[in-house]
């Protein structure tokens, strides 16, 4: 049984989330629990560790041909977990999801072309668009904050269509959505697809969080909609990686899945020409082990996340009534709104740091509201409980002041 409560940090590391310079630059101190970056503070699945140990024990790191299993393993995984039938011949290996996305954007557009994202959204999307000298266009999500325990975020299709009519070339879709936690339903994705086809917009679908599903929510890949169309498609329907699912950010590669044969060949040739379409032996064999033997670990990890989320939800409702938690349907991020707390945005920021909670400011995700913060809950529960209790104390003290 994995020990997700393990808080031991005596091992040697240089993890970004605990980097002193990073913490000081963001929070002015190193005395915070690092809930600001989207990776796990859990030990990886034992089959992954065992496979890496097998490779290390050989003591040899010669050129190695891993074979087709590196794609057949995720093919079987998607069938088991999501009832999604994929063709292992339609995968392309890439260094990572962001590098793959950057290459695709640059290949499909010219400088100055418009690329759309739905905000608030993962901040690296903005960086890769701007660094390619493309024009960032945003389609803000609508937040109907609800009191029934459900996530109130939805797409603004009227605004999306208007943006498409203004010459958008590419849309980056985030499903499940980081940071708001929506797992887009089939009817929502169908509307996006119909609009994209109508206005000749290519969709790049980032589905790296596909396996992090909470409370019986089901994931629908854009691939499944394209398969129903049974016609050539210009969309890049799946960018993924074992990184988020298994906590392998430091060793994982990414993959591109393209259903259309001609489009697949185009991008496979592109990555092959740059010698980017292969991983090293460690990452490749770890990927195979994770997707082949990682089901039980993932199920236990998701159950742990759900328990942590239940505790956090109950605590906020009882002890922090001015804080709104958008219940995530997927991902291990929670999106918190302190607007009704009665405190200024600066006071909230100060209280979080004083409580030892290092959260990501909403402004990183192009939220126009400084009261929003993202928190990564893929971490041991006890320190999170302590942090929320200390946050209550800090806010109570500020209320007295």
Check whether residue 41 and residue 64 sit in a common domain. Answer: no
Nearest to 79 by CA among 292, 267, 349, 311: 292
Range of the domain at 115: 60-293
Give average pLDDT by consecutive 10-residue segment, the chain, 401 residues.
Answer: 88 88 94 95 96 97 89 98 97 94 97 98 96 98 75 93 98 97 97 97 97 97 93 88 95 92 95 92 96 98 98 96 93 95 93 97 88 97 98 84 62
Nearest to 395 by CA among 332, 338, 317: 338
Check whether residue 209 and residue 98 sit in a common domain. Answer: yes
Check whether residue 286 and residue 307 sit in a common domain. Answer: no
Nearest to 159 by CA among 134, 184, 127, 137: 137
pLDDT at 369: 82
Which ranges of 294-375 would DSSP assign to H, the alpha helix? 295-319, 345-354
Nearest to 84 by CA among 219, 239, 196, 261: 219
What is the C-alpha to C-alpha distance for residues 391 and 105, in angstroms, rounded to an integer? 42
CATH number at residue 73: 3.40.640.10
Check whether residue 282 and residue 310 sit in a common domain. Answer: no
Residue reference for tokens 């236990």:
300
pLDDT at 149: 60
Check whether residue 222 and residue 322 sit in a common domain. Answer: no
Which tokens is 87 given?
Answer: 């063709």
pLDDT at 144: 87
**Domain final residue pick, 274, 293, 312:** 293
Residue 84 lies in a domain: yes
Check whether residue 325 and residue 236 sit in a common domain. Answer: no
pLDDT at 279: 86
pLDDT digits (tens, 9 = 90+) for 188-205: 999 999 999 999 999 999
Count of structural domains within the chain = 2
pLDDT at 169: 98
Check whether residue 167 and residue 29 sit in a common domain. Answer: no
Check whether residue 127 and residue 226 sit in a common domain. Answer: yes
**Domain final residue pick, 266, 293, 320:** 293
| DSSP structural state of residue 134 | P
**Domain final residue pick, 293, 323, 344:** 293
What is the C-alpha to C-alpha distance for residues 330 and 100, in angstroms, rounded to an integer? 23
pLDDT at 191: 98
Which tokens is 172 given?
Answer: 């980056």
pLDDT digits (tens, 9 = 90+) for 78-110: 999 999 999 999 999 999 999 999 999 999 999
Check whether residue 24 and residue 146 sit in a common domain. Answer: no
| Residue 271 φ/ψ, nearest 5 degrees | -70, -35
| Residue 105 φ/ψ, nearest 5 degrees | -60, -45
| pTM metric for this prediction | 0.95
Check whether residue 180 and residue 276 sit in a common domain. Answer: yes
For every residue of 135-169, DSSP letters joined together read EEEE-PPEE---SSSS--EE--HHHHHHHHHTTEE
Check whether residue 236 and residue 259 sit in a common domain. Answer: yes
Q: Which long-range contacts (CB under 8 A, 24 or more apart) does 310-317 make?
A: 311/381, 311/385, 312/377, 312/384, 312/388, 313/149, 315/385, 315/388, 315/389, 316/388
Which ranges of 232-294 would DSSP assign to H, the alpha helix? 242-246, 261-273, 281-293
């Amino acid at each position: 049984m994995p020990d997700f409560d393990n808080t031991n940090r005596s091992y040697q590391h240089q993890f970004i989330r605990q980097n002193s310079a990073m913490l000081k630059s963001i929070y002015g101190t190193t005395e915070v629990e690092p809930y600001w970056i989207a990776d796990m503070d859990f030990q990886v699945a034992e089959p992954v560790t065992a496979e890496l140990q097998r490779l290390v024990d050989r003591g040899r790191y010669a050129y190695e041909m891993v074979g087709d299993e590196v794609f057949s393993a995720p093919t079987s995984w998607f069938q088991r977990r999501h009832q999604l039938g994929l063709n292992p011949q339609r995968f392309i290996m890439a260094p990572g999801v962001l590098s793959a996305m950057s290459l695709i954007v640059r290949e499909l557009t010219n400088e100055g072309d418009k690329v759309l994202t739905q905000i608030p959204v993962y901040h690296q999307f903005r960086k890769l668009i701007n660094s390619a000298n493309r024009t960032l266009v945003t389609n803000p999500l609508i937040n109907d904050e609800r009191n029934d325990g459900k996530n109130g975020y939805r797409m603004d299709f009227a605004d999306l269509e208007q943006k498409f009519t203004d010459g958008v070339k590419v849309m980056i879709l985030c499903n499940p959505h980081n940071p708001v936690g929506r797992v887009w339903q089939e009817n929502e994705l169908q509307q996006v697809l119909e609009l994209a086809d109508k206005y000749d917009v290519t969709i790049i679908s980032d589905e790296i969080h596909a396996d992090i599903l909470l409370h019986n929510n089901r994931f629908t890949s854009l691939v499944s909609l394209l398969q129903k169309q049974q016609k050539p498609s210009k969309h890049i329907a799946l960018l993924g990686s074992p990184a988020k699912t298994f906590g392998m950010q430091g060793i994982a590669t990414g993959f591109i899945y393209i259903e259309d044969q001609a489009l697949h060949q185009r991008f496979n040739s592109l990555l092959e020409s740059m010698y980017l379409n292969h991983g090293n032996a460690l990452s490749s064999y770890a990927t195979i082990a994770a997707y082949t033997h990682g089901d039980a670990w993932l199920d236990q990890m998701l159950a742990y996340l759900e328990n942590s989320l239940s505790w956090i939800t109950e605590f906020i409702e009882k002890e922090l009534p001015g804080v709104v938690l958008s219940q995530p349907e997927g991902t291990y991020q929670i999106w918190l709104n302190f607007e009704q707390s009665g405190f200024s945005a600066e006071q909230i920021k100060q209280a979080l740091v004083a409580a030892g909670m290092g959260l990501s400011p909403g402004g990183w995700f192009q939220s126009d509201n400084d009261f929003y913060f993202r928190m990564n809950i893929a971490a041991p529960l006890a320190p999170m409980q302590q942090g929320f209790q200390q946050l209550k104390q800090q806010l109570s003290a500020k209320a007295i002041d």
